[in-house]
Amino acid sequence: MSIAIRHLSKRFGAFQALDDVSIDIGSGELVALLGPSGCGKTTLLRIIAGLEYADRGEVLLDGDDASHRHVRERQVGFVFQHYALFRHMSVFDNVAFGLRVRSRKLRPTEAQIRERVVRLLKLVQLDWLADRHPSQLSGGQRQRIALARALAVEPKVLLLDEPFGALDAKVRKELRRWLRQLHDEIHVTSVFVTHDQEEALEVADRVVLINSGRVEQVGTPESVYETPATPFVANFLGSVNLFHGRIEGGQLHVGEHVIGLDSGDREPGGGAVAFVRPHDFDLVPGWPAGSGLPAKIERVVSIGPTAQLELSRGDGEAGEPIEVHLDRQTLGRLGVREGDRVLLRPRRIRLFQTDALAA
Partner 1 sequence: MVRREGNSSRLKRFSVLPGFAVTLGYTLAYLSLVVLIPLSAIGAKTLTLGWEAFWSAVSTPRVVASYRLSFGASLLAAGINVVFGLVLAWVLVRYRFPGKGLVDALVDLPFALPTAVAGIALATIYSANGPIGEFLQPLGIEVAYTPKGVLLALVFIGLPFVVRTVQPVLADLERDVEEAAAGLGASRWQTFRRVILPHIAPAILTGFAMAFARAVGEYGSVIFIAGNVPMVSEIAPLMIITKLEQYDYAGATAVASVMLVISFILLLIINALQGWMQRRRGAGG
Partner 2 sequence: MESRTLVHPGIIADESPSTRDPTPVRWALIGIALAFFAVFLLLPLLTVFAEALRKGWGAYLAALTNPDALAAIQLTLLVAAIAVPLNLVFGVTASWAIARFDFVGKRVLITLIDLPFSVSPVISGLIYVLLFGAQGWFGPWLQEHDVRIIFAVPGIVLATIFVTFPFVARELIPLMEAQGWEEEEAAVVLGASGWQVFWHTTLPGIKWGLLYGVILCNARAMGEFGAVSVVSGHIRGLTNTMPLHVEILYNEYNYAAAFAVASLLALLAIVTLGIKELVERRVHRHSSPGSRENES
Q: Which residues bind partner 2 (CB under 8 A)?
A: 49, 51, 71-72, 76-78, 80, 82, 84-89, 97-98, 101-102, 134-135, 139, 149-150, 152-153, 165-168
C-beta of 51 vs 258, nearer to partner 1: 51
**Residue 58's binding partner, choosing from partner 2, partner 1, none, with beta-carbon cut-off 5 to 8 A by kind?**
partner 1
**Residue 57's binding partner, choosing from partner 2, partner 1, none, with beta-carbon cut-off 5 to 8 A by kind?**
partner 1
Does residue 19 touch partner 1 according to CB under 8 A?
no
Query: Judged by CB under 8 A, which of 71, 84, 171, 334 binds partner 1?
Result: 71
Provide the minimum distance between the beta carbon of 99 and partner 2 in the complex, in angstroms, as a whole number. 9
Does residue 68 touch partner 1 according to CB under 8 A?
yes
**Residue 68's binding partner, choosing from partner 2, partner 1, none, with beta-carbon cut-off 5 to 8 A by kind?**
partner 1
Provide the minimum distance between the beta carbon of 69 and partner 1 in the complex, in angstroms, as a whole number. 11
C-beta of 58 vs 327, nearer to partner 1: 58
Provide the minimum distance between the beta carbon of 71 and partner 2 in the complex, in angstroms, as a whole number. 6
3-class secondary structure for the chain? Answer: CCEEEEEEEEEECCEEEEEEEEEEECCCCEEEEECCCCCCHHHHHHHHHCCCCCCEEEEEECCEECCCCCHHHCCEEEECCCCCCCCCCCHHHHHHHHHHCCCCCCCCCHHHHHHHHHHHHHHCCCHHHCCCCHHHCCHHHHHHHHHHHHHHCCCCEEEEECCCCCCCHHHHHHHHHHHHHHHHHHCCEEEEEECCHHHHHHHCCEEEEEECCEEEEEECHHHHHHCCCCHHHHHHCCCCEEEEEEEECCEEEECCEEEECCHHHCCCCEEEEEEECHHHEEEEECCCCCCCEEEEEEEEEECCCEEEEEEEECCCCCCCCEEEEEEHHHHHHHCCCCCCEEEEEECCCEEEEHHHHHC
Q: What is the rounded radius of gyration, in angstroms, for the C-alpha atoms of the chain? A: 25
- CA–CA gap between residue 167 and residue 199 (Å, rounded): 13
Provide the minimum distance between the beta carbon of 141 and partner 2 in the complex, in angstroms, as a whole number. 11
**Residue 62's binding partner, choosing from partner 2, partner 1, none, with beta-carbon cut-off 5 to 8 A by kind?**
none
C-beta of 46 vs 176, nearer to partner 1: 46
C-beta of 152 vs 344, nearer to partner 2: 152
Provide the minimum distance between the beta carbon of 147 and partner 1 in the complex, in angstroms, as a whole number. 20
What's the burial of 28, exposed, middle or buried (CB within 10 Å: 0-12/13-18/19+)? middle
**Residue 97's binding partner, choosing from partner 2, partner 1, none, with beta-carbon cut-off 5 to 8 A by kind?**
partner 2
**Residue 184's binding partner, choosing from partner 1, partner 2, none, with beta-carbon cut-off 5 to 8 A by kind?**
none
* Contact code string over 40-59 relative to partner 1, x by CB under 8 A: ----------xxxxxxxxx-
Window contacting partner 1 (CB under 8 A); options: 67-75, 134-142, 210-218, 338-346: 67-75
C-beta of 69 vs 180, nearer to partner 1: 69
Provide the minimum distance between the beta carbon of 52 and partner 1 in the complex, in angstroms, as a whole number. 6
Query: Total residues at the site for partner 1 (CB under 8 A)?
Result: 14
- CA–CA gap between residue 234 and residue 197 (Å, rounded): 12
Provide the minimum distance between the beta carbon of 347 and partner 2 in the complex, in angstroms, as a whole number. 38
**Residue 85's binding partner, choosing from partner 2, partner 1, none, with beta-carbon cut-off 5 to 8 A by kind?**
partner 2
- CA–CA gap between residue 42 and residue 81 (Å, rounded): 10
Side by side, the strands of the sheet bearing 241-248 are 257-260, 251-254, 241-248, 270-276, 350-353
Contacts to partner 1 by CB under 8 A? 12, 50-58, 67-68, 70-71
